[in-house]
Amino acid sequence: MKAAVANGNQANETSRDTQGLTGRLKIRVASLERLFEAGQTDMAKLLQDRQRLTQLENARLDATSQASQTQADLLMTLRVPTLIESLQRSAVDAGPGVASQPLPIPQVSSPRG
C-alpha cells in the first residue's frame, strides 16, 4: 500500500511539473510561430518545438491517468465503496419500487426573469 501511495504521489508530481513546462513551451512555440511568419526562423526549429510540446502534453496526460488509476486502486484496496455501489445500496435500503422511479428534474429559473 505504501508503494501505491508513493506511485500516486510521483504521478501527481509529474503531472504538475509537466503542466508548468507545457505552459512555458506553448509560449515559446507561439513566439517561434511569429518569428517564422516574419521569416526570422526556420521551419525545422518550429516543428521541433511543436513536437516537444506534443510529447510533453502526452507525458502529462499519461501521468494524470496513472495518478487517477492509482487512486482508484488504492480506494479498492481500502474497500471504499464507489459512488455506484452507494447509490445501489441506497436504492435497496429504500425498498421495492423506489429504484425504478425517476429522479425529479430540478427546475431552473430563467436568467431573463
Poorest-pLDDT segment among 18-22, 52-56, 100-104: 100-104
Q: Tens digits of per-residue pLDDT, 59-105?
A: 989 988 888 888 888 877 777 777 667 777 777 776 665 555 555 66
C-alpha cell read off for 16:
504538475
Q: Which residues of 61-95 are buried (b: 16+ CB within 10 A; e: fewer)?
A: eebbebbeebeeeeeeeeeeeeeeeeeeeeeeeee
Please name the amino acid found at residue 93. Answer: D
What band does 113 get if pLDDT is binned at 50, 70 and 90?
very low
